[in-house]
Amino acid sequence: MTKRIVIKQVIGASVESTFDWMAHSNNFSRAPWVFSSKWRDSNNYTVGAVRNIFMLAGWYQEEITEFVPNEIIQYRVLKSFPPVKQDFTEMKFEKVSRGTMVTWTIDIDVLVPIIGPILTQAAGKLASGLYGSILTAGKKVLERG
C-alpha cells in the first residue's frame, strides 16, 4: 500500500538559490536527521546521477530521474535499508510573493511481509518529519544569506 506524503515550505529566497541549495543534496546533512548525503560520481546532479543518503530513517541509494533547473527534481530509490519502494519523489519549486514555495512529494511503501502496511503508515509520519527538517535547514541557511 503506497502512501503519498506532501510537505510544503515557503523559503524567503529566490527560486534559483533555493533550487541550487536543494540540488546540492550534500546540504541535507545540515538537517539533524541526515548524517550524510554524497553523490556516487562527484557532484553530478543530472538525470541518472546516483547518491547515497544515510539518515535516521535508514540508508537510501537514489537516482535522479528528472532534472529541470529551477523547476523540478525527481528521483527514485534504487536500494534501501530498511527496504522501501519509493519510485516517485519530486521537489517542485515555484516563485511566490514571499520567495519560493518548495513542494516535496514522496510516494512510499515499506516492503516488509505482513506488517508492511502498518510500517508504511509509520514511515509516512517519519518522512514528513525528515523532509520537513531538510526544508527547515535550507530555509535557515537561505534566509540568512
What does the pLDDT read at residue 42? 66
Between 9-13, 23-27, 99-103, the lowest mean confidence (pLDDT) is in: 23-27
CA distance 49 to 52: 10
What's the domain count of the chain?
1
Q: Are 142 and 13 in contact (CB under 8 A)?
A: yes
Q: Are 75 and 61 in contact (CB under 8 A)?
A: no
Q: Which residue has the higher pLDDT, 110 or 86?
A: 86
Residue range of the domain that includes 112? 3-144
Kindly report the backbone phi and psi dihedral angles of residue 62, in degrees, each rounded to the nearest multiple of 5, phi listed first: -120, 150
Q: What is the DSSP string of 9-60?
A: EEESS-HHHHHHHHHSGGGGGGSTTEEEEEESSTT--STT-EEEEEETTEEE
What does the pLDDT read at residue 132? 94
CA distance 21 to 132: 15
**CATH assignment of the domain containing 104:** 3.30.530.20
Give 37-88 pLDDT, tens digit per residue.
Answer: 998 876 667 899 999 999 988 999 999 999 999 999 999 999 999 888 999 9
Give 111-137 pLDDT, tens digit per residue.
Answer: 777 777 777 777 778 888 999 999 999
Q: Which residues pair with 71 in a beta bridge?
A: none
What does the pLDDT read at residue 112? 74
